[in-house]
Amino acid sequence: MSEEHNELAEPSTADSFENPGLGHHRPRLGDEDPRAAKRSERQVVALFTVSILATIGGIVGYFAFPVAEADAGNVRMSTLVLGLGLGLGMLGIGAAAVHWAKSLMNDHEKVEERHEQRGDDATRERAVEMLQEGVADSGIARRPVLKGALGTALALAPLSFVVPLVGNLGADWNVSKFRHTAWAGTPDGGPRYLATDPTDRRIKASDITRGSMVHVMPYRLPEEEHYLEEKAKAVVIVIRVDPSILKEPEERRGWSYDGIVAYSKVCTHVGCPVALYEQQTHHVLCPCHQSTFDITDQAKVVFGPAKRPLPQLPIAVDDEGYLYAQQDFDEPVGPSYWERER
């Protein structure tokens, strides 16, 4: 080793700097003490074990906290355990590999002269030999426990990706949660009136002037469990235009009242609230990514990344002139997913 170092320490032919050579080689503890090597091996196995347990824990957590059960706590816990399982699983393998390489693999320091990118056949054969030497140097053939730990960790780690993917094939992806909103009606079977937010005051058709846009909520939405989620799903914009410019297909006749139309305020791109109404063009704009919807034509997308029109809320007026929802939206509100029907 020392001869090799002296040779390497000779000045380089380049005049800009001298070859610094390699420093004095210091053997590692494990190179001289078999007990230290054994200890390092145990540490590497322990790190692989961390990876194995984390992967198993992530998968168990995935089944223990099913996100399909419409529970925000479950979604948070599922995300947490899957993330931890995945992170610790990968970290354990990485840390074990590094520790193994630094403490157990052969510590021969070698220097190779630079050569052309493509080696000749002899060099290539030598490369294969070196790879085989590397495998031999890793000592994997002599350390069956290490080999088993490595194999198990590598075999289990991809499950963190595969199990959620396979488990969710054909799953609902929470679309059912967006299929129904508070506009479906009140608990006693009565209609759900349109109300101002946050004052919760019912709105009359005469309150909506032509050219204006009003943000409304279901009247008297009970402040019980999932109140905020229900409120977020049910938020609606109401706009009044000249009735003669509305393009209403046969199946939507009667969904508007005297030029007043109501649409979900949740953008069908990724769910931002559409907020800007342009009176002249009758377009509403989502400020997040500029998706633009034509209110006179079933809120179809005229610009931007959204792929679906805003869902329309069928409305009507009672004897006193108050606006109410005839029924729930006829499709899930919110962003589009490839699982959706439209």
Binding residues (CB under 6 A) for ligand FES: these are 267, 269-272, 286, 288-289, 291, 304-306
**Nearer CB in complex with ligand FES: 21/304:** 304
CB of 234 to ligand FES, least distance (A): 18
Q: Rounded CA gap, 240 and 260, in Å?
A: 4
CB of 173 to ligand FES, least distance (A): 18
Between CA 265 and CA 209, with CA 283 as vertex, the angle to 5 degrees is 80
Helices 72-103 and 144-156 sit at what angle, rounded to 10 degrees? 150
**Nearer CB in complex with ligand FES: 62/329:** 329
**Nearer CB in complex with ligand FES: 70/288:** 288
**Nearer CB in complex with ligand FES: 270/317:** 270
- Residue carrying structure tokens 């289990």: 156
- Name 202's bridge partners: 195
Q: Are 262 and 313 in contact (CB under 8 A)?
A: yes
**Nearer CB in complex with ligand FES: 261/301:** 301
CB of 301 to ligand FES, least distance (A): 9
Q: Rounded CA gap, 208 and 212, in Å?
A: 7
- Name 89's bridge partners: none
- DSSP character string of 295-325: GGGTTEEEESS--SPPPBPPEEE-TTSBEEE
CB of 271 to ligand FES, least distance (A): 6
Q: Rounded CA gap, 44 and 38, in Å?
A: 10
**Nearer CB in complex with ligand FES: 243/305:** 305
**Nearer CB in complex with ligand FES: 38/289:** 289
- DSSP character string of 95-157: HHHHHHHHHTS-----------SS--HHHHHHHHHHHHHHHHHHTTTT-HHHHHHHHHHHHHT
Q: Rounded CA gap, 19 and 199, in Å?
A: 79
CB of 330 to ligand FES, least distance (A): 21
CB of 293 to ligand FES, least distance (A): 10
CB of 176 to ligand FES, least distance (A): 22
